[in-house]
Every structure is written in structure tokens, then in C-alpha cells.
């Protein structure tokens, strides 16, 4: 069927730029477009960032574009810094499809007080040096397939 110019044919033929930066997040990303795509640019600069609501001051990690507390859309970025405490972790011996090449790896949760961060432990920490409650820091990590994530290192 020929596209009529009156039905938006001309408009549709123009290729729209899609900001799909988020597809770079993690070994396999399941999201490509998000309002917080700048998170990826920050990762590329070595920074892990959360967001803070400019209206009410709520702090979010993972970063959000919208504040559920006061419904404001005015959020600003802040850099995750300092140390968090290891809440818990688990070392995987099996992986879901797409992650087999990363095995073995440990998923983990750090508590920074105002917020918590879910991620992975750095791969080079010996098992017997991982203890709940230990202080760790969050650092950007480049994966072998060129993707980006962040991991927790001993502080």
C-alpha cells in the first residue's frame, strides 16, 4: 500500500533518533530507553549516580525520574560516595541464560544509610574475606563484552 502524504507518510519516513543508551547497562540489559539514560554517561565517566528530588529532598537509588513522595519531576543527580555496609550476598554456581560467561559471580546489597545499592561483589575478593557488615565502596566496572555495570570493592 502506498503511503498517502495526508496520513503522515512524510512524517513517518523521517527516521527518529532513539536515545537507547541504557542498553549498555549490565551483562544483558532488558531496558534501552529510560528518562535516566544519563546514568550511562556518568558510568562512562567513572561515576555511579543516584537522584534526589529537588522539591522534597527524597533520595533515590536506583535513580528515578519521578518522585513518588511529592509527585515532582524535578530530580537532580548526586554521586554515590563513601562507604556502605554489606547487607547480604550470594555466590551463584548457575546463571540465567545470557550470564553463563560471568560465572562464578556474587550478587550483593550495600547499605549507605540514606539508600541501598543492589549490584555485584568485585570478582577478585576471596570468599573468606567477605563478611556481612563489612565496609565496601561502589565502583564502575567495564565488562568483557563492552557493557558497563558497577561492583562493590573492599573499602
Partner 1 sequence: MEKVAIIGVGQSAFVRGYPGSIRELAFEGFKEAVENAKVSVGDIDASIICSAPEYDKQRSPSGVLAEYLGLIPQPTCYLESLCSSTSMGLRMAYSLVKSGLHDVVAVLGFQKMSEISSAESQERMGRGADIQWESPFGTMMPAYYAMFAKAHMEKYGTTLDDMALVRVKAATYGPIYEKALFRKPVTLEMFTDPNHFMAGPVASPLRAGDCCANADGSSCLIVASEEKAKALSKKPVWIRGLGAASASVNMAGRDLFTGLAVARQASEQAYKMAGVTPKDIDVAEVHDCFTISEIMAYEDLGFAKPGEGRDLVKSKETYKEGNIPVNVDGGLLSKGHPIGATGGSQIRTIVLQLRGDAGEMQGKDPEIGLVHNIGGVGLYGNVTILGR
Residues 6+ apart with CB under 8 A from 108: 86, 87, 88, 89, 90, 118, 119, 120, 121, 152
User: Which backbone phi and psi does 57 adopt, to 5 degrees?
Assistant: 85, 0
Secondary structure tally for the chain: helices H, strands E: 2, 8
**Order of strands, sheet of 75-79, starting from the edge strand that comes earlier in the sequence:** 59-60, 49-53, 75-79
The single residue among 85, 116, 125, 139 that binds partner 1, judged by CB under 8 A, is 116
| Size of the residue set binding partner 1 (CB under 8 A) | 39
Residue 81 binds to partner 1 (criterion: CB under 8 A): no
Cell numbers standing for residue 43: 558510568
Residue span binding partner 1 (CB under 8 A) among the ranges 1-9, 11-19, 51-59, 100-108: 100-108
Residue 42 binds to partner 1 (criterion: CB under 8 A): no
Closest separation between CB of residue 100 and partner 1, Å? Answer: 8
Nearer to partner 1, 6 or 94 (CB): 94
The single residue among 20, 54, 72, 92 that binds partner 1, judged by CB under 8 A, is 92
User: Which backbone phi and psi does 107 adopt, to 5 degrees?
Assistant: -90, 150
Interface contacts to partner 1, rule CB under 8 A: 22, 25-31, 34, 61-62, 87-100, 102, 105-109, 115-120, 132, 149
Amino acid at each position: 500500500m502506498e503511503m498517502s502524504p495526508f496520513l503522515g507518510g512524510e512524517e513517518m519516513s523521517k527516521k527518529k533518533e532513539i536515545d537507547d543508551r541504557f542498553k549498555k547497562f549490565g551483562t544483558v540489559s532488558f531496558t534501552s530507553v529510560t528518562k535516566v539514560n544519563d546514568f550511562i554517561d556518568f558510568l562512562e565517566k567513572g561515576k555511579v549516580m543516584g537522584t534526589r528530588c529537588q522539591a522534597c529532598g527524597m533520595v533515590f537509588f536506583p535513580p528515578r525520574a519521578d518522585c513518588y513522595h511529592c509527585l515532582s519531576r524535578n530530580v537532580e543527580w548526586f554521586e554515590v560516595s563513601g562507604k556502605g555496609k554489606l547487607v547480604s550476598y550470594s555466590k551463584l554456581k548457575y546463571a540465567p541464560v545470557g550470564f553463563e560467561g560471568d560465572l562464578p559471580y556474587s550478587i550483593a546489597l550495600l547499605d549507605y544509610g540514606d539508600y541501598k545499592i543492589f549490584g555485584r561483589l568485585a570478582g577478585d575478593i576471596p570468599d573468606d574475606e567477605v563478611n556481612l557488615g563489612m565496609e565496601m565502596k561502589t565502583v564502575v566496572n567495564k565488562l568483557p563484552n563492552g557493557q558497563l555495570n558497577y561492583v562493590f570493592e573492599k573499602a
